[in-house]
Amino acid sequence: MRAEAVHADVVVVTSRIWRTTCTLVRSGSEAFAIDSPVLPDELELLPAISAQAGFEVVGLLATHADWDHLLGPLAFPEAPLGCAETSAARLSAEPGAAQRELRSFDDELYVQRPRPLGLGAVQALPVPGHCGVGELELELHPADGHTADGMAIWVPWAAVLVCGDYLSPVELPMLSPGGSAAAYEATLARLEPLVEQADVVVPGHGEPLDPQRALAILREDRAYLDALRARGAQASLPPARRTGEQRRIHAENVQRLGL
């Protein structure tokens, strides 16, 4: 696991699995943890990393309801979890799905955890909207398309954009069940002006990005989605994302679009 301070009030922790990011955001004496690392030892270390950096985590946020972004309660069991209303609705409609997917992952990789995942009462946040931390506010922006739910989080005093599973340097635009190419492209359009204002962009998977690289990835993702709808399986993948795993994701995208 890697921890990197990208601003005095923002620390990004990157998991060894899927390079999933967890972003710690501070305002005054309060801090939130956005999304989560994946492995048990990473989650165990997260409170110590937060405390060492001077971040008193009082709340958790999830950019969307995929299980690998929901593990914050395993690190901070007393902190409430907030997510977009669309994500809260998804969790309500799929009770226990995140826990089952986590158990399946753990069973496949022989991972042992000290306790099961408990999400408790999830706080549904209106999006677009704001969420207070300390004396300042985070901006919440709709971010659907990868899934049917989700939000991106803008940290205005740090000029940091936490965008969930978008703008990844390691992963193609992935149309999960409930996702949509049109909605994905609409999210890219909403993210673009935020990226242009940002000093740092934190994708859900991969290292923090400077805005120039994030904009280049945005253009690649837009071109890929256009090619996907026009050419289906024959669409070209972005040059840095042509691994076997990304070709598998591409094949699933083709299947979900019925191309």
pLDDT value, residue 120: 84
pLDDT value, residue 205: 97
**Is residue 239 packed enough to be buried (19+ CB in 10 Å), middle (13-18) or exposed (0-12)?**
exposed
Is pTM, for the whole model, over 0.85?
A: yes
pLDDT value, residue 210: 97
Domain of residue 183 covers 2-256
Give phi and psi for 153, each to the nearest 5.
Answer: -125, 125
Bridge partner list, 23: 12, 34
Q: What CA–CA distance (Å, rounded) separates 139 from 187? A: 15
Cβ contacts of 124 within 8 Å, gap of 6 or more: 82, 83, 84, 85, 87, 88, 89
Q: How far is the CA of 111 from the CAs of 39, 115, 199, in angstroms? A: 8, 12, 37
pLDDT value, residue 243: 96
Q: What is the domain count for the chain?
A: 1
Q: Which CATH number covers residue 237?
A: 3.60.15.10
**Is residue 225 packed enough to be buried (19+ CB in 10 Å), middle (13-18) or exposed (0-12)?**
buried
pLDDT value, residue 57: 97
Half-sphere exposure of 175 (CA within 13 A, CB side): 21
Please state whether the peptide bond connecting residue 128 to the residue before it is cis, i.e. omega within 30 degrees of 0.
yes
* Strands ordered across the beta sheet of 129-133: 129-133, 136-142, 151-155, 160-162, 200-202
Q: What SS3 string covers 23-56?
A: EEEEECCEEEEECCCCCHHHHHHHHHHHHHCCCC
pLDDT tens, N- to C-terminus, the chain (259 residues): 899 999 999 999 999 999 999 999 999 999 999 999 999 999 999 999 999 999 999 999 999 999 999 999 999 999 999 999 999 999 999 999 999 999 999 999 999 999 999 998 899 999 999 999 999 999 999 999 999 999 999 999 999 999 999 999 999 999 999 999 999 999 999 999 999 999 999 999 999 999 999 999 999 999 999 999 999 999 999 999 999 999 999 999 999 988 6
Question: Within 10 A of 16 (CB to CB), how many other CB atoms are there?
Answer: 13
Half-sphere exposure of 109 (CA within 13 A, CB side): 12
Helix (H) / strand (E) element for 215: namely helix 211-231
> What is the DSSP code (8-state) at residue 175?
-
pLDDT value, residue 5: 96
